[in-house]
Amino acid sequence: MIGGWIWILFAAIGVFGAASVALSKNVVRCGFGLLAALISIAAMYAFLGADFLVATQVIVYVGGILVLILFGVMMTHRITPISLRDDMIQPMAAGLAALLIFGLSMLMIITTDFGPMADPGPMLPTTHDIGRAFLTSWLFPFEFASVLLLVAMIGAAMLTREPRPDDMPDGMPNDAPNDKPYDVPNDKKVEG
Amino acid sequence: MEIGLIHYLTLSAIFLALGIFTVLSRRHVIVMLMGTELILNAAALNFVAFGRYVTGGLNGQLMTIFIIVIAAAEAAVALAIVIAMFRNFNTVRVDEVDRLRQ
């Protein structure tokens, strides 16, 4: 069956991407490895018949979070180059912990009897049912998640804001010398 | 070959192990953030796979949507903290951030 081989191809892409996140010394290469892993997860959702989740995964993760992360990488790289020479501090201990967790997970997966498998049934569009569930039985978590997103957005804006000199409390030395860090110098400004 | 629940759980366990390895072994804060995204995605994949093969219905997919929402909020706040940290300490390595104030 050809579907199994396509599944294995996407799984291999995802594992390769995740491995390059874990092992690569180059931050940009880590970012593109994460891109491969997230696209592989989106393909897994497609194999599982979750069409709404495929769209959500691609829009939110591949389009949003990954661009945010690459933006963070570029922003922090632009000012000073970061030495990645001794980035792997404790690879042995970390590898041991990861192998232990992987081994225990596999032991659980192999030995557990998951009971009778539900009939997966035909793959139907899920968007309509998901919207109905959000506005009926899952209404409270849905509203709570929207409040959480609002709080996170305000918090992120608050944290990244440039500190103004008048909101420093007394006794706190304001040694951020850049009162206008992104202003163009006067001799570089274009007249008119 | 027929792809079943075991295959999805195995793939998810691989993602989880690689994510944990990333978070534990790296000192670059953005790469550690990528490791947490891998861990969250492994959990989300498990929810969808169990929802399709064991419980049936849409509850697994709904939980996964909430995981994606929480991951988005987490990434936004974490990157804001990274930018604030870079502004104050001029580094993105977590072992060089060792003061609570200037």
pLDDT in tens, B6-36: 999 999 999 999 999 999 988 888 889 899 9
Selected residue with higher pLDDT from A191 and B41:
B41
Q: What local confidence, expressed as pLDDT, does residue B39 receive? A: 95
C-alpha to C-alpha distances, A99 to B16, B18, B34, B37, B91, nearest whole angstrom: 10, 9, 19, 19, 30
Give all strands (DSSP E) within chain B, no chain letters: none
Q: What local confidence, expressed as pLDDT, does residue A84 receive? A: 52
| CA separation for the pair A126, B55 (Å, rounded) | 16
Q: What local confidence, expressed as pLDDT, does residue A167 receive? A: 63
Q: Which tokens sit at A88?
A: 């792997």
pLDDT tens sequence across B42-81: 999 999 999 988 887 888 999 999 999 999 899 889 988 8
Record: contact B41-A101, CB cut-off 8 A: no
User: Residue B10: CB partners within 8 Å, gap ≥ 6?
Assistant: A106, A109
SS3 content of chain A, % helix, strand, coil (to 5): 70, 0, 30
Q: Which tokens sit at B1?
A: 């070959």
Element holding B55 (H helix, E strand): none
Record: contact A72-B8, CB cut-off 8 A: no
Q: Which of A72, A77, A29, A34 is nearest to B78 (CA)?
A: A72
Q: Minimal Cα distance from A97: which residue of B? A: B21
Closest CB to B45: pick one of A44, A56, A89.
A44
For chain A, 192 residues long, the average pLDDT of each consecutive 10-residue run is: 87 95 85 92 93 92 78 62 54 89 93 78 85 93 94 91 67 51 53 48
Amino acid at A158: M
Q: Which residues of A touch B15 (CB under 8 A)?
A: 14-15, 18, 37, 41
pLDDT of B102 > 70? The answer is no
CA distance to partner chain A, nearest, from residue B89 (Å): 11
Q: What local confidence, expressed as pLDDT, does residue A36 receive? A: 93
| CA separation for the pair A18, B18 (Å, rounded) | 6
